[in-house]
Amino acid sequence: MRHLKKVETVLRQATTEGLLGQHHPVAGFIDVQGVRDSVTALHEAFAHVPDVLHAFAVKACPLVPVLRLLADAGMGCETASPGETRLALAAGFAPERIVLDSPAKTRAEIREALTLGISLNADNLPELDRIDALRPADSRSVLGLRVNPQVGGGTIAAMSTATPHSKFGVALDDPGARARVLDAFRQRPWLTRLHAHVGSQGCPLPLIAQGLAALHRLAEEINAHLGRRQVTSLDLGGGLPVNFSDDTVAPTFRDYVRVLTDTEPALLDGRYQVVTEFGRSLLAKNGFTAAVVEYVKDSGGRRIALTHAGAQVAARTVFMPEAWPVRVTAHGPNGLLKTTHRVPQDVAGPLCFAGDVVAHERLLPELSEGDVVVLHDTGAYYFSAPWAYNSLPRPGVYGIRHRGGEVSFAPVRTPQTLEEVVEESGSSHVEALLPGFGPFGRP
């Protein structure tokens, strides 16, 4: 209930200031202190590990002010594309605290990382050949190889990356793969890190621990095979699942560390530097999305609230509702929780396809035009990664600070204007495809 009281305060002030309402019918909010508290919990859980770099997965919230907040809180950064790397640098992360992961790095991406001193995990053995050709002798980059321990998947196939046919990493159980990995390290003394990521939402902690124990065993095997301690660091990936059913943080980072230690006591004993790549678990519960109810109607005996929060801000929930359900609360125009009679209702979005529904037959206080619905636990992967379907403008995102009973806002992303939507859609080239359009000749 304390969380909901804070949400009410935010909504009341946001509508007063015009951040949410008729002109801006959907907006995202991030709890700044909540983010700092989550980072603190992560560091405390790993406090006994002598050498650890916690790298935030940029894809979970690719917003520069949020990344700057995380850098200030002591995080490193994990990137998976040239755009994410540029965001990390713009947010002030030092190159040596950035880790580049991607299954399809171009030569230009590899060259940039090696030049700047950004750490890099090769996804496959052919990528090591590219690094051989591009790596300058004085590169400061820590270089690793991603492996797939093939321990199986969780309840969400799309989030499971250690399955037999995963597109990620070198599949360790495939015939001859282990020998090829040993040979790759033998040929490259500069290859000093191993990386694995078992999966994220839907992957239970014992499965994650099983995969990372296999990573540790491989590191020991490589070093024994080479007769020297060449592998000196282990990148454990991220993947701590998030509880979306209520406000409870479960599992916690301490739970994660305990399960890893129970499964493989030597994994975190300090013999290897450790890298983590958490994203969702740091941000999800520290953000929410609010949207105005535009219309309410009945169809086939079912109540439907048409809101401005649909697949453009909650794509996973709309397309995989059983895997990605979100909690929804109903608020009046003043932000206060509604206490009217509860009825089953669909909470639908504004997009022009029938499946654009974020909650099906949800038992909620009866919604009315002008009310506000809140989608909880959306601080990661929701408003920060919008879908441009129907050319809807990207919503504004605001950092929130609570002081006593008051709340203040800091702009994170300014709401996109319709003019910016038009410009982004090629308006400066409006005549480009008409007859006589240049080097391709006349049609």
**Host H or E run for residue 5:** helix 2-17
Tokens 């959306």 sit at which residue? 378
- pLDDT given for residue 436 in this prediction: 74
pLDDT bucket at 438, cuts 50 / 70 / 90: low
Asked if 185 and 231 touch (Cβ cutoff 8 Å), the reply is: yes
Is 87's pLDDT higher than 90? Answer: yes
Cβ(233)–Cβ(120) under 8 Å?
no
So what's the pLDDT on residue 379? 97
Domain ranges of the chain: 2-29+285-424, 32-281
- What are the tens digits of pLDDT across the range 131-169? 999 999 999 999 999 999 988 888 888 888 888 888 889
The answer to whether the CB of 378 falls within 8 A of the CB of 391 is no
Q: What is the pLDDT of residue 8?
A: 95
Q: What is the pLDDT of residue 441?
A: 47
The pLDDT of 329-345, averaged and rounded, is 96
Lowest-pLDDT range of 122-126, 201-205, 414-418: 201-205
The CA distance from 189 to 199, in Å, is 29
DSSP-assigned letters across all residues of 247-311 = S---S-HHHHHHHHHHH-TTTTSSSSEEEE---HHHHGGGEEEEEEEEEEEEETTEEEEEES-ST
Q: Does domain 2-29+285-424 have CATH number 3.20.20.80?
A: no
Q: What is the structure's pLDDT at 443?
A: 45
Which CATH number applies to 32-281? 3.20.20.10
In one letter, which amino acid is 254?
A: R
Q: What is the DSSP string of 141-162?
A: --EEEEEE------S-GGGB-S
3-state secondary structure of 359: strand
Do 2-29+285-424 and 32-281 fold alike per CATH? no
pLDDT at residue number 442:
47
pLDDT at 424 over 60: yes
Tell me what pLDDT residue 437 has. Answer: 66
d(CA 162, CA 149): 6
Please tell me the predicted confidence (pLDDT) of residue 153. Answer: 87
For the cut 50, the answer to whether the pLDDT of residue 121 exceeds it is: yes
